[in-house]
Structures are given as C-alpha cells and as structure tokens.
Amino acid sequence: MEALLASGGTAALFSLALWLARNLIVTRLTKSVEHEYARLLETYKTDLRSAEEEFKAGLKAKELEISALRNGVLAAVSSRQLLMDKKRLEAAEEIWASVMSLGTFKFVSGWMANIKFEEAAKAAKTDPNVRRLVDVLGEQIDPEKMKEKLVPCRARPFVTPLLWASYSAYSSVMMQAVMQAFAIKHGVDPKLITSDKSSEILKLVLPHQSEYIDKYGAACYHHLIEEIEQKIIYEIHQTISGAETDEAGIKQAAAVIKKCSEVSPGMTI
C-alpha cells in the first residue's frame, strides 16, 4: 500500500512538473513570437516610412521636372507668339503703307472714270490730240512706277486671306486705271486692256455691290475704292488681333486672288 502511495505521489509530482514545464515553454514561445512579431512590425513600419519618404522625394522631383518642362514650353510658345505678332504687325503696316502710296493713283482712277475708255483708246491709235488727254496725269501712268509701290509677297503669310485679297483687289483696280491711261497715251489696242476681270474681282470683294457694278461697269470702279479701303482697315484689325478666317472667307479670298492674277499676272500673287 505504501509502495502504491509512494508510486502515485511520484507520478503526480512528475505530472505536475511536466505541466509546469509545458506552460513555461508555451509562455516562453508566446513571448518569443510576440517579440519577433513586434520586431518585424517595427521593421515593416520603418521600411514603409522610408519608402514613403522616397516616393515623396521622387514625386517632388517629377513635379519640378514637369514644371521646368512646362515653363520651357510656355516660354517657347510665348516667344513664337511674340515673333508671330511682330510679323503680323509689320506685314499689316507694310500693306497699309502701300495702300497710302497707291492712293496717289486715285486721281488717275477718277480721271479714267470720266472717260469712255474703249472709244478714247480706239481714237488714240490715230489721233495724237486724244493721246494728249492723259498728259495731265504725268508719270502717274507709268505701270513700272506703280509696281514699285506694291507690297512684296513676303507679307502674305502673316495676314488674313481676306486682307491679302482685299489689298490685291485694291491694287488691281488701281493698276487697271493706270494701264487704261497708259493705253490711251501710247495708242495701245484697247482689246489688250479689259475691265471684265476687274469687275469680277470687285464683285467678289464687295458682293453686295454686284448689281451696282453690273449696271455701271468700269465707270463705277473709282467710287468703290473708299469702301475697299475700309475693308482693308477692318482686315488689318483682324490680322493684328490674330483672328482666324472662316472657311467661307478663305474661299472668297482664293477666288479674288485668282482673278487678280488673271488681270495682272505676278503683280500681287
């Protein structure tokens, strides 16, 4: 009996010791795992903060790079715009200076408006007295001198199509009057100097005056010069402001320029 009791007590003590040892191991393992988890969590947090700081630094660098690129592009665009504005202004000034210079031929245009060109030109071929009718116009009926007052084509790319068309019409009508006076002075065949194309040009530039032009023909050209000048001034304002010409305006301008080239090839085109 004593032996059994002794044996049972030993087993109980062994079981107790085993239970305590197991609890101790579990506790140590738990603390070890908790410690390792805390260490890994702290490392993760540190790495995350480092990555965040690196991302922010990279983002800032990209922002600076984009800002520098944007500023460079804007500066280039601004520079090109300033250059284009300067070119537009210079071209517009050149055209208006030519209009003012060509304005001296208004006297020729007005004189020819009072002469029946076809009859005068035919008579001038044989009658020197008729040829002397235009002597009062002096050097103003020299086509070469008139051409010196025309704007060179280098201005054309920097103005609106309608400005160039209106200017071409203006110079073409002036040239028509000069050529008619020249024909009378030198007894040139009037068939070589026709006003049909000028009529078409004026109707394209001033479509609302078509009926008036059809009714009075070349005799009315002189009376439309002021209106063409006003149109030129309007288009100069459009050019300086950088306004775009719509599709209808572009077609109208193309038609005018084509007719002008048929009247005086190479003069303004």
Mean pLDDT along residues 185-205: 75
Per-residue pLDDT band at 226 (split at 50, 70, 90): very high
Q: Which residue has the tokens 């003590």?
A: 13
Residue 186 to residues 110, 134, 136, 193, 261: CA-CA distances in angstroms?
Answer: 20, 10, 14, 13, 24
Mean pLDDT along residues 126-144: 77
Helix axes 161-186, 225-241, angle to 10 degrees: 150
- pLDDT in the model for residue 15: 67
User: For 78-127, how does the pLDDT look when each residue is reduced to its tens digit (9 = 90+)?
Assistant: 566 677 888 888 888 999 999 998 888 888 888 888 888 788 888 888 88
Please report which helix (H) or strand (E) contains residue 219, including its range.
Answer: none
- pLDDT in the model for residue 113: 83
Per-residue pLDDT band at 244 (split at 50, 70, 90): low
Q: Please indicate whether residue 44 or residue 132 has the higher confidence score (pLDDT).
A: 132
C-beta separation of 240 from 88 below 8 A: yes
- pLDDT in the model for residue 269: 39
**Given a cut of 90, is residue 228 above it in pLDDT?**
yes
Q: Please indicate whether residue 234 or residue 200 has the higher confidence score (pLDDT).
A: 234
User: For 103-112, how does the pLDDT look when each residue is reduced to its tens digit (9 = 90+)?
Assistant: 888 888 888 8
| % of the chain with per-residue pLDDT over 70 | 68
For residue 31, give the DSSP letter.
Answer: H
Per-residue pLDDT band at 211 (split at 50, 70, 90): very high
**Given a cut of 60, is residue 149 above it in pLDDT?**
yes
Measured between alpha carbons, how far is 217 from 209 in angstroms, rounded to an integer? 11
46 token code pair = 């540190």
Q: What is the mean pLDDT of the chain?
A: 76
Measured between alpha carbons, how far is 70 from 204 in angstroms, rounded to an integer? 45
Domain extent listing, the chain: 86-263
State the distance between the two ends of the chain, measured CA to CA, in whole angstroms.
137
Q: Please indicate whether residue 9 or residue 145 has the higher confidence score (pLDDT).
A: 145
Measured between alpha carbons, how far is 34 from 29 in angstroms, rounded to an integer? 8
C-beta separation of 102 from 174 below 8 A: yes
Q: Where are the alpha helices (H) located in the chain, listed in sequence order?
A: 2-102, 106-113, 117-124, 128-131, 143-147, 161-186, 196-205, 210-216, 225-241, 247-263
DSSP string spanning 60-105? HHHHHHHHHHHHHHHHHHHHHHHHHHHHHHHHHHHHHHHHHHHGGG
- pLDDT in the model for residue 212: 92
Q: Please indicate whether residue 11 or residue 111 has the higher confidence score (pLDDT).
A: 111
C-beta separation of 159 from 95 below 8 A: yes
Q: Please indicate whether residue 76 or residue 257 has the higher confidence score (pLDDT).
A: 257
Measured between alpha carbons, how far is 107 from 113 in angstroms, rounded to an integer? 10
- pLDDT in the model for residue 231: 92
Measured between alpha carbons, how far is 68 from 65 in angstroms, rounded to an integer? 5
- pLDDT in the model for residue 264: 52
